[in-house]
Chains A and B, each alone.
Chain A
């Protein structure tokens, strides 16, 4: 019943040390010495197309995909190294992140040949960005309650509805929209995923500022948007399966436990080499948690490399990861008597402020804590 509690260590592949060294050298060179804790703490929100293009030139985007589609045929374990190095360095990865992590893999698996040929090479070169069209005002955790609907008109789709909380819709080229295409009663079977070019007429993108005043969230309205038949991803009625597959990608990576890493690293800097015992103890404990989470997350990557889809393991890593991510700023403020200051970019105070203000989102985005735990409980055979 419980294989999903196993996290076997993945193999070490040849040349992985070289890859890691190359990524570190690239990051040191590209980010430069002035890239401080304040920048690092923004990693995910760091939108920088020039940086994304440079990653593409290195061959580090879409790197697990076949060469025909701009990929490099590398193992998911190699990709894991690139991704964790980017996050640990707090590199500005927001532009390409969703495309590389989940939209590209979805198209590779379910897209038409034309969708793959048109889009995947552009993602891999760091030029084409995606956003996620799942949530709606009335449909958050209960994703199957989605109301946005696409109806057929001849060979076209006509899309109507409003998506919300769409990260970086304002910069993205495409959205993958989860919507109804069939009977409203058929909660799962009546849904599909559509590939929507955001330059299509009839789409209105409005900003929603987060609690710190930053603009990354959006509301996206589709007002009878006319889409070609070729917008459909996979089969009509397959939307639920596709969206679940996407969530497995979204939940599995090291982005699910490294969100506060920049602050932890800066905390170690501020404490110095010989801090008092309570500080040493807290650092040791957090290091232990990180080491174990990284081991678990690498195990998930190892399963992906064997073409297994480990959704339950990914859910466990995300739940534990969010706890640690949210604990780090709380512990940091008990060890260093500095107030979080959002204004001047003083390193530690600013990184603390950033991380504190991001922390609530860690257990919401990609599935709330309660929903994840419901999934785990089902995996255990409860209900």
Chain B
């Protein structure tokens, strides 16, 4: 079943790889990628937005690594859709007893709540202009908001919309089962998975290129300097994948809040961010000048890596938070802290 879902996802996203690439504007500093309406319709028809909620809640109750495995797969093809955001939004809504999202959804923080009205704006909301529903955390309330107004159209360096939104309509709210840090770490875990996917694709492309590109009468992949760099990249890609899954396995714990999910999610974002920073340069270096062009398909991957590692908390922020936890526990509890993680998975 899980294999089937992932195979199906891989096939669907591969079929839309060309469309995703074509959705990028020529000059990424000028505008955002176009919306892939047809692909989103298929994603909804397949029920992917409801991958995480339980069957009783009207979802498919896929294991978290399968559900977010789809997010990883989408990233391998640089698919510009808020699939992960919509999955997490629906999961949070279901646990809060609120109705599922209409259409594509996103996650946001920022506004305050006054009765059933939101005041203030939410900045850099992923695909905000396309999100029919936005799930926000305001204090200890989970908010389901629709009908947003886009006050600023922006995007990241990969061209993914990152918009500022505000709301005038009444919203639905319910007690939230996550705090603000955990909410942000859910976003971070989506990015960790996406980074893992993007790295995976960049590695495949780079290995293929090294075996094919000839200089000095042989494939450049025969040169030991290239091999050593590729091996370094592979170790980081492997670590990123393991890190993202480590956090994802503990997703149910996010609702309970023992601290295991948050620690794992911090570690994952730190590790995947570092892997992105090490690996993207190796991919580019190995490709030479061709990889530096807009027509070659490496940049949709590497520009996402450079964006995603800074979204929902960069390495420095989560290192501070994780380090604080470790130092507060002190030396005697450091090892038990590390092993508790595995005991919960």
Contact = CB atoms under 8 A, between A and B. Distances in A.
Contacts of B321: 284
Nearest to A17: B343
B267 interface: yes
Interface string A54-85: 00000000000000000000000000000010
The prevalent SS among residues of B at the interface is: helix
Nearest to B248: A9
A5 B319 contact: no
A291 B267 contact: yes
Interface stretch (B8-16, B36-44, B236-244): B236-244
B52 interface: no
Nearest to A378: B227
B238 A290 contact: no
B242 A288 contact: no
A274 interface: yes
Interface string A269-294: 10111110101111111011111111
A289 B235 CA distance: 13
A190 B324 CA distance: 57
Given A275-B327, A373-B227, A285 B207 contact: no
Interface in B212-247: 221-222, 224, 226-228, 230-232, 234-235, 237-239, 241-243, 245-246
Contact of A265 (B234, B242, B334): B334
Contact of A383 (B222, B320, B342): B222
A258 to B, nearest CB: 10
A223 to B, nearest CB: 39
A287 B230 CA distance: 26
B204 A268 contact: no
Contacts of B234: 5, 316, 376-377, 379-380
A9 B345 contact: yes
Nearest to A4: B238
B323 A282 contact: yes
B200 interface: yes
B331 A284 contact: no
Contact of A287 (B211, B243, B323): B323
Interface residues of B, number: 57
Interface stretch (A108-116, A178-186, A295-303): A295-303
A280 B329 CA distance: 12
B204 A291 contact: no
A370 interface: yes
Nearest to B246: A295
A31 B82 CA distance: 54
B318 interface: yes
B327 A373 contact: no
Given A292-B239, A294-B342, A382 B211 contact: yes
B142 interface: no
Interface in B41-67: none
B266 A284 contact: yes
B322 A284 contact: yes
Given A9-B249, A268-B327, A288 B319 contact: yes
B207 A382 contact: yes
Contact of A381 (B211, B246, B342): B211
A288 B321 CA distance: 11
A25 interface: no
Nearest to A5: B238
A274 B327 contact: yes
Nearest to B220: A382
B338 A287 contact: yes
**Centre residue among A282, A292, A383 by max chain B CB count within 10 A:** A292
A320 interface: yes
B319 A292 contact: no
Contact of B330 (A269, A285, A295, A379): A269
B323 A296 contact: no
Contacts of B231: 319, 372-374, 376-377, 380
A122 interface: no
Interface of B: 200, 203-204, 207, 210-211, 221-222, 224, 226-228, 230-232, 234-235, 237-239, 241-243, 245-246, 249, 263-264, 266-268, 270-271, 274, 315-316, 318-328, 330-331, 334-335, 338-339, 341-343, 345
Please provide the 10 A-B residue pairs with the shortest distance between their CB atoms, ordered closest to farther.
Answer: A284-B323, A284-B319, A373-B231, A377-B227, A284-B322, A280-B323, A288-B267, A376-B231, A269-B331, A288-B270
9 contacts: A16-B343, A277-B320, A284-B320, A291-B267, A292-B268, A296-B242, A319-B235, A377-B231, A383-B222
Interface of A: 2, 4-9, 12, 16-17, 20, 84, 88, 261, 264-266, 268-269, 271-275, 277, 279-285, 287-296, 298-299, 313, 316, 319-320, 370, 372-374, 376-377, 379-383
Given A268-B334, A285-B270, A285-B274, 11 more contacts: A5-B241, A281-B316, A287-B322, A287-B326, A287-B334, A292-B243, A295-B242, A313-B238, A380-B231, A382-B226, A383-B221
